[in-house]
Structure 1
Amino acid sequence: MRSRAGTLRTGERSVRDASSPRGYGRRSTDRPGGDRRSVPLEPLLTAAGALLVGFLLSVGLSAGREAARVQNERKDELIALVDTRQTRAEALGAQLEQLRSEVAAAESRAAEGLPLLQVQVAEVEAAAGLTPVQGPGLELRFADATTACPTGRAEDCRIQDVDLQLAVNTLFALGSEAVAVNGERVISTTAIRSAGGSILVNYRVLTSPYEVQAIGDAGALEEGIADSSLTSDFEVWRDVYGLGFAVAAGDELEVPAFTGSVRLRAATVDLDTGPDVDPPAGAAAARRDTG
Structure 2
Amino acid sequence: MIARRDDRRPGASTPLLADLLAGKLLDPGYAEAAARRAASAPPRRLRGPGVLLVLLLAGILIAVAGAQARRGEPVAAEQRARLIDEIHARTAETDGLQDRVDRLRARTERSRAAALARSDEGRRVRGRLAGAGAAAAALPAEGAGIVVTLADAPPAARHPAAESGRVYDQDLQVLVNGLWAAGAEAIGVNGRRLTSTTAIRAAGEAILVDYRPLTGPYAVTALGDPDGLRDALEGSPADRRLAALRDRYGIRYEVHRTSGARLPGAGTLRLRYAAPAPQDGQ
Range into which the TM-score falls when normalised by the shorter chain: 0.5 to 0.7
| In 1: Cα distance, 2:141 partner to 2:168 partner | 27
Q: CA deviation at 1:152?
A: 2.5
Identity %: 38
Aligned to 1:174: 182
Specify the structure having the higher radius of gyration (Cα): 1
| In 2: Cα distance, 1:188 partner to 1:180 partner | 12
Query: Pairwise mapping of residues 48-63 of structure 1 onto structure 2 (< 5 A)?
Result: none
Q: Any idea what the Cα deviations from partners look like across 1:171-224, whole Å, max 9, x if unmatched?
A: 111111100001110001100001122100011000110000011111110111
Q: CA deviation at 1:234?
A: 2.1
AA partner of residue 257 (structure 1): G
The answer as to whether partners of 2:145 and 2:224 remain within 8 angstroms in 1 is yes
Q: Any idea what the Cα deviations from partners look like across 1:74-111, whole Å, max 9, x if unmatched?
A: xxxxxxxxxxxxxxxxxxxxxxxxxxxxxxxxx99x82
The answer as to whether partners of 1:166 and 1:230 remain within 8 angstroms in 2 is yes
How much is the aligned-residue C-alpha RMSD, in angstroms? 2.3
Instruction: Find 2:234's aligned residue among 226, 234, 246.
Output: 226
Instruction: Find 2:204's aligned residue among 183, 196, 201.
Output: 196
The answer as to whether partners of 2:187 and 2:193 remain within 8 angstroms in 1 is yes
Aligned to 2:138: 130
Q: Any idea what the Cα deviations from partners look like across 1:99-147, whole Å, max 9, x if unmatched?
A: xxxxxxxx99x82311100000111111111111111111100001112
Aligned to 1:152: 161
| In 2: Cα distance, 1:142 partner to 1:266 partner | 35
Aligned to 1:265: 272
| In 2: Cα distance, 1:224 partner to 1:238 partner | 19
| In 1: Cα distance, 2:253 partner to 2:274 partner | 33
| In 2: Cα distance, 1:224 partner to 1:195 partner | 31
- Report the TM-score when normalising by structure 1: 0.51
- Report the TM-score when normalising by structure 2: 0.53
Instruction: Find 2:170's aligned residue among 162, 172, 185.
Output: 162
| In 2: Cα distance, 1:150 partner to 1:218 partner | 33
Question: What are structure 1's unaligned runs of at least 5 residues?
Answer: 1-106, 269-291
| In 1: Cα distance, 2:167 partner to 2:274 partner | 28
Report the CA distance shift for 1:264/1:196 in structure 2 as closer, same or farther (over 3 A).
same
